[in-house]
Amino acid sequence: MIGDTTAVYTLQPGFVGEGKRMAIISYAQNREDVLLHRVLSDSSRGLYIDVGACHPVTHSVTKHFYERGWDGINIEPIPAMCEALAQDRPRDLNLCVGLSDREGILNFHECINLAELSTFSDEQAEGLRRSGLAIVDHEIPVTTLASVCERHVHRTIEFLKVDVESFEREVLAGADWSRYRPRIVLVEATRPSTNIPCHEEWEPILLAADYLFAFFDGLNRYYVRAEDRELIPRLAVPANVFDDFEMHEYRSQIDGCREQIDGFRGQIDGLRSELERTRQSLVEVEAARFRAQAGLEETRAALAAQRKEWEESQAELHAAWSRLDHTAAELAPFRELGPIAIEVARGLRRLSTRAPRLAAMSKWMIRHVQPRLRVSLPEG
């Protein structure tokens, strides 16, 4: 059972314009979760039922409450969407069935292009086909809201959301409003993808169950059970700046930009590291250049010293050649004297060391007498 249905709801600080609350993230298409949060902000762990839940995040009325620690029952007949809900909402009960006013098998028209437009309504499906959308029909089991509650609900239902694309009357007709009374019921109240009201088809069911109309947000109509009529003033105005909320779409874009910025920062840090490595490499190259320059200067100095030594050697060599030429010139007059002349020359050299004057006189005599000797001497 749902427990005590007569619990008193007291107005808490933080109602529109009062106090300061932490900003909430709104996922719902028409900010339905903002209105519900405003009314039910005192419930720390509530229970919700989402009929036609579809995607677990995009346009979800219940995602915000799940993040707050709530849990609930999601009714979604499309297998892929139900699996996505199960992955995103492990605390929730996710039922891949349809709801109607009786149990059985119904033909379900799944819209391939826009899953949220899928419906049990034959008329609605025909309109989707005429608009060019791809529709796939398949039979699926359906049960009633009363049966779901009897099997799975054991405490107060904080709110019930119904969005089933022109099949709302059948869903509401299949509830047991005397035993299971959600504090708030919100139902899509216009024909799909239009602003044409359609609540007259199903509103009598809620009014007969002692629910009071509280607010119309342009898409949904909100009803409060009579025993919680004091909640109605909280639904007097639409979601606004005083509710202190952020839209998930913008938050996602901001987070995406932050991720890009973080990525750019990472790239910048990488470039800075690469620049630092390059700078260090340049320092090392410059140091190597200085070492090479110093080595080159040393090599140049060594080459200059070697050149100097070579030039000195050349000078000494030229001097030696000059001395040799001078000696050859001195010995030239004695070349034709043969071995005797050489012996005489050697004798004169030895004499020059002991008696320079005598040696000089001997040389003079040889130079002047030699021509006459050559003539007087016999040939051979």
Look at 220 and 286; give whichever has higher pLDDT. Answer: 220
Q: pLDDT band for position 352 (50/70/90)?
A: confident
Per-residue confidence band for 338, with pLDDT thresholds at 50, 70 and 90: low
Of 85, 100, 212, the C-alpha closest to 166 is 100
* Residue range 193-212: mean pLDDT, rounded: 96
Pick from 195, 215, 243: which residue ends a domain?
243
Find the mean pLDDT for residues 177-191.
97
Same-domain check for residues 336 and 228: no
Question: In angstroms, rounded to a whole number, what is the distance separating the alpha carbons of residues 257 and 254?
Answer: 5
Neighbours of 247 (CB within 10 A): 15
Asked if 159 and 2 count as a contact pair (C-beta separation under 8 A), the reply is no
The answer to whether residues 199 and 321 belong to one domain is: no
The answer as to whether 55 is a domain residue is: yes
Look over the chain and give the mean of its residue pLDDT values, rounded to a whole number.
Answer: 85
Q: Is a pLDDT exceeding 50 seen at residue 6?
A: no
The domain of 351 spans 261-367
pLDDT score recorded for residue 228: 97
Whether residues 76 and 108 fall in one domain: yes
121 in the same domain as 63: yes
Examine the domain organization and report whether 265 and 304 are in the same domain.
yes
Is residue 36 domain-shared with residue 132, that is, in the same domain? yes
In a domain, 379, yes or no: no
What would the pLDDT profile of 62-106 be if each residue is shown by its tens digit? 999 999 999 999 999 999 999 999 999 999 999 999 999 999 999
CA distance 66 to 47: 9
Taking only the tens place, the pLDDT of each residue in 241-289 is 999 999 887 766 666 677 777 788 888 888 888 889 989 888 989 899 8
At residue 41 the predicted structure's pLDDT band, cuts being 50, 70 and 90, is: confident
For the beta carbon of residue 151, count every other beta carbon within 10 angstroms: 12
Assigned token pair, 26: 């709104």
pLDDT at residue number 124: 87
pLDDT tens track for 291-320: 998 888 888 998 898 888 888 888 888 888
Q: In degrees rounded to 5, what are phi and psi of residue 209?
A: -90, 15
Could you say which DSSP state residue 235 is in? Answer: G
The Cβ of residue 378 has, within 10 Å, a number of other Cβ atoms equal to 4
Last-in-domain residue among 194, 216, 243: 243
Measured distance CA(228)–CA(280) in Å, rounded: 74
| Domain total in the chain | 2
- Decide which of 212, 243, 274 is a domain's last residue: 243
158 lies in the same domain as 209: yes
Taking residue 154's Cβ as centre, other Cβ atoms within 10 Å add up to 10
CA distance 335 to 342: 8
Q: Residues 107, 139: contact at Cβ < 8 Å?
A: yes
The domain that holds 30 is classified in CATH as 3.40.50.150
pLDDT attached to residue 373: 47
pLDDT band at 350 (very low <50, low <70, confident <90, very high): confident
The pTM of the full predicted model, rounded to 2 decimals, is 0.65
